[in-house]
Amino acid sequence: MPLKLNVADVIRAPKFSPEIGEWKSGHIPRAQFPLSRVKPKSYKFGPDYRWRIARFETSLGKYRVLVLLNESKAIFRATLASETPTGDLVVLCQHEYHQSEPGWHCHVSFADIDLMPHGVFRSHLDRWPKYKSNSEARHGFNVEEKNALSIAANVFRFRAQGDLI
């Protein structure tokens, strides 16, 4: 294991033991995606939002991906987080698309995971690529329940086993 472990190491690492949860709506129970410093209202979404959790392991640790989708508003977010021994998560990256910002982008940190804050969604992440107001990429949202997990799996390089189309 490298002395300093970051999100790129996790994405590149071979994955095993994938577990894919079913699509659900509304409230995300903290047990599914535990972030101790996030207010409860952040876990509540309207009925148009669908979510599911994928879990996998690497030789570096255990990880979860929260896939959040609102097709009617063209919102997609796949949040990669590292499990900690205390049961909390460290958010490493959020790959997303939403109409309030142009194009597909990530909120990511390449810092050493051990130095990143536990239990928060995004306070430590930088946008990549940097915001460009003249971006051509405002179009291109072709995400549905049937392909949302595959998009997250491709970005974070895990197999979306158990996903029926």
Given this model, what pLDDT does residue 133 score?
Answer: 54
Q: Long-range pairs for 35-41 at CB < 8 Å and ≥24 separation?
A: 35/81, 35/88, 35/89, 35/91, 35/119, 35/120, 35/121, 36/88, 36/118, 36/119, 37/117, 37/118, 37/119, 37/120, 38/119, 38/120, 38/121
Which H or E run includes 148? helix 145-156
Q: Are 50 and 23 within 8 A, CB to CB?
A: yes
pLDDT digits (tens, 9 = 90+) for 14-31: 999 999 999 999 889 999
Residue % of the chain over a pLDDT of 70: 89
The full length of the chain comes to: 165
Query: What is the separation of C-alpha 126 from the centre of its chain, rounded to a whole number of angstroms?
Result: 14
> pTM for this one?
0.89
